[in-house]
Structure 1
């Protein structure tokens, strides 16, 4: 029969209680890291002929509760391990004690420390197949997770602390927000991405059975995103770009043709870059799988794009993301898209986006294609049709791409009032 006794082997206070576990030939002991004083226990009377181990009876109720819980943990683990033939020794006992106290095995123990958990878990994500898509996680997502991990470690360094997973609560949320919003001047939208990743890893930790604080999954563990001020090109501006004579500028002519393709297909830059690999026939662009959503789509070819394909004998130019974003700004400036509008532009000195009034061409980039496609067709076609082309799964996400300027809204209202006044002056005869 397995037995457990608690004893003391020192008179130095506070005294670290000792635990002895014995069963047949097994007789092991270890320090419990439960500390007591002389008044917390009394010595047991030792029967004649029995080896003295300075065994004690705990009389302090709170300490007695701890020792009873530890005793239960040891018995439960013994019942689990002994039948399997697992080694029962002092190392086994110390591990149980450490787990009882939630004591990590070093400061990189992923069971307790948050940053080490994220780092180790990212490694598992690299080979995890997404059951919904049947594919590996996008490497870009892995890169974003590593970026968030870097921000957590930066926060730890500044605060001179090591975050445990259990420490990720609403107080951490407030401190994290204050540091990155007030001291580092990050946008709400950027911080929200960090928080979203943190919540994801907290859920993953919980699934592994690690101890978490449920406050991290609270609706309060977020921040309101900044209002997005995104730029799009209306149909008049697209016509201006399409009709501009670039016969003596081959570089911008290539960029213009690829840009027009994006503006009239709504493709992401990742798909636009591989457009030549798609089936372009019978006045359709057929894509078996888009890169981000793995969706099959069929896009009609706009007359402007058809003209470009004929000019280039069905092969569109290819260019890197960086060069594309650089050259489309130059292109839009050249054709005269220089209206001053409200937008957000990255300050090279602070590396932060700053809201302000800028000439429109400075705000044009690859994602302008999708915003323009959605905005120019919104209200003219039903949303379901547009979403089938853009492969948006969520209607709310789709509506984020609808970008009508404040001036255009004002013009619509102004036109509406003018028509109302005309109808009053010229009422229809019954």
Structure 2
């Protein structure tokens, strides 16, 4: 009777009573989610297709899903021989121990280890939305990016050196063309390699390249300058996979003598103690190991990848072109992100301001000085 008074069904709805009685004796039980970390990571992976992505659409990207799959493997390895960890266990102490294990026991790079901590925090917050208990310290667990990144880019002088180097190998000639072209339009490798003739258009009399960035989903318009035209004078370079292009970029820079000792990170095969495993004369590793990103001092050409294009473009134009205009092409959301990307800080700001005033002073000193000569009347 209470349900009838509450719902006030239409007399024509002949199935109301039957459905109401059925629902009363067969209540729908809400499935309660597990509070185990591994299960919560699996839940995120299993529901990836209905989750909002960073483009405000549905469905996480393949790389994002793979990131969670890697996190699941790492957590399963971390808790091996222990009781399965629960979401509420992720507090400051857990975060420190987990980060220490990732860096000092598994030999992951600091940036990757921090990223895994951030992924773990995201999983915990997702579980919290469904009522699963989390630690009151969760927001204070430290992940984030390292304070200092190794900024690897090619200077204008190095690009000129690469351009003028005599290269016979057609494959490396093609790779060099991609490298020079990429460094003059400032796009990621994935966006660079999908450019075709259809991306070249004329807007209001201006020749531009129009493309939609794969990672950000942003539409980018890049002016075609004289140098770009010179690089592409005989057409676009041939298509190639991004994996091969990474390797060929290193080869091109090696031939060009870009070998200055440079601090950076590269992927190496390491043993259980984190030591690099050498290769035999056939190029095969002498023992099994795991791939890890190791920071050290290497010849600069060994650190070059397709990402050098975007970084070189942004770094070389900083201070020459207004920052806001560079950001329109690199698609950085904030100036703070852009400056961190090219390794600039408040001191660089101060230097830029000082340079500006010095330039104004030089201009003023060069301006012709007009002396007013009074007319003297003769008597």
Structure 2 length as normaliser, TM-score? 0.74
TM-fit CA distance, 1:135: 4.6
Residue 142 of structure 1: which of 59, 62, 65 is its match?
A: 65
Post-superposition CA distance 1:252-281 (Å, at most 9, x none): 111011111110111111101101164213
In structure 1, distance between residues paired with 2:110 and 2:91: 19
In structure 1, distance between residues paired with 2:173 and 2:194: 18
In structure 2, distance between residues paired with 1:388 and 1:254: 28
Structure 2 match to 1:112: 35
Quickly say closer, same or farther: Cα 1:182–1:337, change in 2 above 3 A: closer
TM-fit CA distance, 1:224: 6.3
- The answer to whether the 8 A contact 1:130-1:136 is kept is yes
SS at match of 1:264: helix
Quickly say closer, same or farther: Cα 1:171–1:130, change in 2 above 3 A: same
SS at match of 2:44: helix
Say how many residue pairs are matched.
314
In structure 2, distance between residues paired with 1:345 and 1:266: 22
Structure 1 match to 2:45: 122
Indicate the RMSD between aligned Cα atoms, in angstroms. 3.3
TM-fit CA distance, 1:293: 0.9
In structure 2, distance between residues paired with 1:399 and 1:188: 21
SS at match of 1:298: strand
Task: Structure 2: give runs of 5+ residues left out of the alignment.
Answer: 1-19, 275-290, 363-368, 370-379
Larger relative contact order (Cα-Cα within 8 Å, sequence gap ≥ 6) = 2
TM-fit CA distance, 1:400: 2.4
- The answer to whether the 8 A contact 1:165-1:211 is kept is yes
Structure 1 match to 2:194: 274
Say whether residues 1:321 and 2:242 are aligned partners: yes
Residue 133 of structure 1: which of 51, 56, 68 is its match?
A: 56
Say whether residues 1:330 and 2:251 are aligned partners: yes
In structure 2, distance between residues paired with 1:114 and 1:398: 35
Post-superposition CA distance 1:322-361 (Å, at most 9, x none): 1111111110111121222222233332433333322111
Quickly say closer, same or farther: Cα 1:366–1:125, change in 2 above 3 A: same
Quickly say closer, same or farther: Cα 1:358–1:174, change in 2 above 3 A: closer
TM-fit CA distance, 1:285: 0.4
- The answer to whether the 8 A contact 1:133-1:294 is kept is no
Flag the structure with larger Rg: 1
In structure 1, distance between residues paired with 2:197 and 2:125: 39
In structure 1, distance between residues paired with 2:174 and 2:33: 51
Say whether residues 1:176 and 2:98 are aligned partners: yes
Which aligned pairs between 1:25-44 and structure 2 lie closer than 5 A? none
In structure 2, distance between residues paired with 1:307 and 1:120: 52
Structure 2 match to 1:203: 125
Which aligned pairs between 1:283-298 and structure 2 lie closer than 5 A? 283-287=207-211, 289-298=212-221
Task: Structure 1: give runs of 5+ residues left out of the alignment.
Answer: 1-80, 100-108, 424-429
- The answer to whether the 8 A contact 1:113-1:164 is kept is yes
Quickly say closer, same or farther: Cα 1:402–1:131, change in 2 above 3 A: closer
Structure 1 length as normaliser, TM-score? 0.65
TM-fit CA distance, 1:82: 9.5
Residue 24 of structure 2: which of 70, 82, 85 is its match?
A: 85
Residue 394 of structure 1: which of 319, 334, 355 is its match?
A: 334
- The answer to whether the 8 A contact 2:92-2:140 is kept is no
TM-fit CA distance, 1:373: 0.5
Structure 1 match to 2:282: none
